[in-house]
Amino acid sequence: MVGDGGLGMTLAELETVARLDLPITVVVFDDAGLSLIKIKQGDAQGGPPAVDYRPIDFAAVAHACGLAAETVDDAGSLRRVLARGWDRPRLIAARIAPDHYAHLLAVTRGS
């Protein structure tokens, strides 16, 4: 499991997983931005333009690296895809909304 920003920094690893034919499922949480950094940064640090980006088709990127891949938009779809058996590398791009991140950080960090 990886965020879209983290995967963006390590995309070459998808090719490695495919080349070695490792039966690994990569789940990328795709919210089209560096959302946790966005919560912590101030306007003097670039604001939203410094951490938001256009949507990336991570399933297409994974296909280009040799992995099977799907995009899901809700929990039910994710459950169905995860429930399927697999024997080869795959990526699941889970599109999510970052609406509750600030609250989750506050709860988990006691702020």
Contact (CB, 8 A) for 86 and 23 = yes
Tens-digit pLDDT profile for residues 12-53:
999 999 999 999 999 999 887 666 666 667 667 766 666 677
Per the structure block, which two tokens stand in for 79? 């459950």
Which is more confidently placed, 78 or 110?
A: 78
CA 25 to chain centre: 12
pLDDT band at 87; cut points 50, 70, 90: confident
CATH code at 2-109: 3.40.50.970
Tens-digit pLDDT profile for residues 49-82:
666 777 889 999 999 999 999 999 999 999 999 9
Per the structure block, which two tokens stand in for 83? 């429930």
Domain boundaries, the chain: 2-109
> What's phi and psi for 11, nearest 5 deg?
-60, -30
Closest CA to 90 of 108, 78, 104: 78
